[in-house]
Structure 1
């Protein structure tokens, strides 16, 4: 293992409700406590009772400290494997954070428009699309509230997997290409990987799911609240 992590100066540092999660071993977190060496990052995790399987693209892993899985819901944070492990595993990958929130039951008819995603987060819509059961929105502010040194712009996404509404959020350093168009492309990669792994792990479900309220701030507020936590 190298004496120092070459990614350390380039790595994202979470703040707010996620503060301290990505601090390197030996650093202090928001409470002033020394960060112990983190456990090895995870390649994937089963959330919501195994209905939704989450994994990062090549070079990105799950922070085991953030993974939450309960019946019907779950949460995980994706970041560079190398940063999460303090340089122990993985190769260099462009710094960013992606949160994955598995929320209430729903169906494709319940998915919001990009405009509704912006409204739910109180931000202006810079761009986005709704296609093939996947909605994305590039928002003008909010990214720097989660990521230290982050770009104000960030991305949100929503889709249905095995009857669960799944919310994605991507945060990137200031002026990163992931804060602009590449962020939508990355969310699409994550969505495709989740869909492939989840279909392999669970039987096909009906697309209607169980009854759920229509698209509104309350429904998507539970996926996209200000803290990005389930």
Structure 2
């Protein structure tokens, strides 16, 4: 079982477990080879699983984290109609790093056809979808709708804070669902998580707009 910790070696092991856990529960999609073996570093022979960005839907959606966060290449699922990626502090994915240097948080991205939510995306619609997770804050922003949920975070990411954030936005005809999970009592369960979610959405929008046609 994963235990949140600021110690980089243990945190990296935990991220690996979370990646496997998250993949087991995401949508069944036609997967493509994402090179999940990692890359060896010349200096240490140790592996880094960090990606700055990753195409999830060709010519549609590219995953990218906010500053300081990277995609775990072991988690990436791609397909013609959707996909999934897990994002963590870059240092948590690099065996060479001595420290994390960021608020401890796990971010996820999931892509589906835009009709999956039905109608226009709104914070109220998200609150209704996740009613069982006790919405406590709703906001419709510029291009993203988001909710803060008081329950359920630990059911998705083991031993995380129950309070977590979810957001949704449309990107090139796809529905992109984002989430931010914090360690128990972590700042990312509060306003820091909201800021991370908005920065996350902006990074995905920018990367998807800049992505070349394939």
TM interval, shorter chain, is: 0.7 to 0.9
Which residue of structure 1 lines up, in the alignment, with residue 14 of structure 2? 13
Which residue of structure 2 lines up, in the alignment, with residue 62 of structure 1? 71
Which residue of structure 2 lines up, in the alignment, with residue 129 of structure 1? 139
Q: Any conservation in 1 of the 2:22–2:156 contact (CA below 8 Å)? A: no
Which residue of structure 1 lines up, in the alignment, with residue 191 of structure 2? 181
When the two structures are aligned, how many residues end up with a matched partner? 185
List alignment gaps of at least 5 residues for structure 2. 1-5, 24-37, 39-45
Instruction: Give the helix-richer structure, 1 or 2.
Output: 2
Which residue of structure 2 lines up, in the alignment, with residue 200 of structure 1? 210
- Aligned-residue CA RMSD in angstroms? 3.1
What is the CA distance between 1:136 and its match in structure 2? 0.3
Q: TM-score, normalised by structure 1?
A: 0.69
List alignment gaps of at least 5 residues for structure 1. 22-35, 204-230
Which residue of structure 1 lines up, in the alignment, with residue 149 of structure 2? 139
Q: Any conservation in 2 of the 1:59–1:91 contact (CA below 8 Å)? A: no
Aligned partners of 1:188 and 1:105: how far apart in 2?
20
1:76/1:117 CA distance change after superposition, 3 Å: same
1:20/1:48 CA distance change after superposition, 3 Å: closer
What is the CA distance between 1:116 and its match in structure 2? 2.7
Do residues 94 (structure 1) and 67 (structure 2) align? Answer: no
Q: TM-score, normalised by structure 2?
A: 0.74
1:16/1:44 CA distance change after superposition, 3 Å: closer
1:51/1:40 CA distance change after superposition, 3 Å: same
- Match runs of 1:1-230 below 5 Å: 6-8=7-9, 13=14, 18-19=20-21, 39-88=48-97, 92-106=101-115, 110-121=119-130, 122-201=132-211
Report SS of the residue matched to 1:148.
coil
